[in-house]
Copies of this chain bind each other. A is one copy, B any other.
Amino acid sequence: MLETNPNPNLDEILIRSARLMAHRGYHGTSMRDLAEVTGRSLSGLYHYFEGKEDLLYLINKRGFSSLLDLAEDLREAGFGPTEMLKGLINRHIGFFVDHLDEMRVMMFGTLELSKDRGREINRLKEVYRQNVQEIVQAYIAEARGSGLSEVELARKTYLLFGMMNWIFGWYSSGAHGTPEDLADDIFRTFTEGCAAG
């Protein structure tokens, strides 16, 4: 987070709201539901944001900003391509597992946001994606000696995102190993294929 935490109450409201929205969707979750689950009255909620859309915006912005910070911290560490890719997958999966509900909300899409806010969130997403893409590019360039075309590189990056983000639908740490196991599996599968090891 860039700014110092301005309001611990708002933090908890966002987390509890995301938990509900993750399972019922944005339109499927009413302000009355959110009031109940946050232990406040319906009208009392409006002290913290201007409206329901505001809440979705805040969840998205905080989530993607955190992911972006994680990625930029990592790049400053100055690892080599392999360690960089491995570290990125680890951090992405770690954050994902720690914030499963917010992540779920973030993948439902930003289509319910206003035009301006939708654009702002999409910009964050795109910056993060480019960060990851450059790490993938560096890894591939080292591993095979030559780079990939723009189209192929973008596609490979999206495939990596697919493996990482799809876990929202199936992963439970009890049945599918620790987050570290999972991150390692994704790294090995992405770099060497499913029969590696």
Q: Give the residue name and chain of the B residue nearest to A195 (CB).
A: B143
CA distance A108 to B112 in the complex (A): 14
CA distance A68 to B67 in the complex (A): 36
Do B151 and A177 have beta carbons less than 8 Å apart?
yes
Considering the complex, which residues of chain A in the window 152-197 have a beta carbon less than 8 Å from any beta carbon of chain B?
152, 154-156, 158-167, 169-171, 175-177, 182, 185-186, 189-197
Do B186 and A159 have beta carbons less than 8 Å apart?
yes
**Band of interface residues on A:** 35 or more
- Interface residue stretch chosen among A7-15, A21-29, A39-47, A58-66: A21-29
Q: Give the residue name and chain of the B residue nearest to A189 (CB).
A: B159
Do A190 and B189 have beta carbons less than 8 Å apart?
yes
CA distance A24 to B194 in the complex (A): 36
Number of copies: 2
Do A140 and B175 have beta carbons less than 8 Å apart?
no
Q: Is A111 an interface residue (CB 8 A)?
A: yes
Do A195 and B155 have beta carbons less than 8 Å apart?
no
CA distance A191 to B192 in the complex (A): 8
Q: Is A34 an interface residue (CB 8 A)?
A: no
The interface residues of chain B lying within 8 Å CB-to-CB of A151 are 175-177
Q: 0/1 per residue, A127-166, Cβ < 8 Å to B? A: 0000000001001100110000001101110111111111
CA distance A193 to B31 in the complex (A): 46
Besides A28-B112, A155-B176, A190-B194, 9 other CB < 8 A contacts?
A107-B169, A140-B194, A143-B194, A143-B195, A159-B166, A159-B194, A161-B166, A162-B167, A163-B163
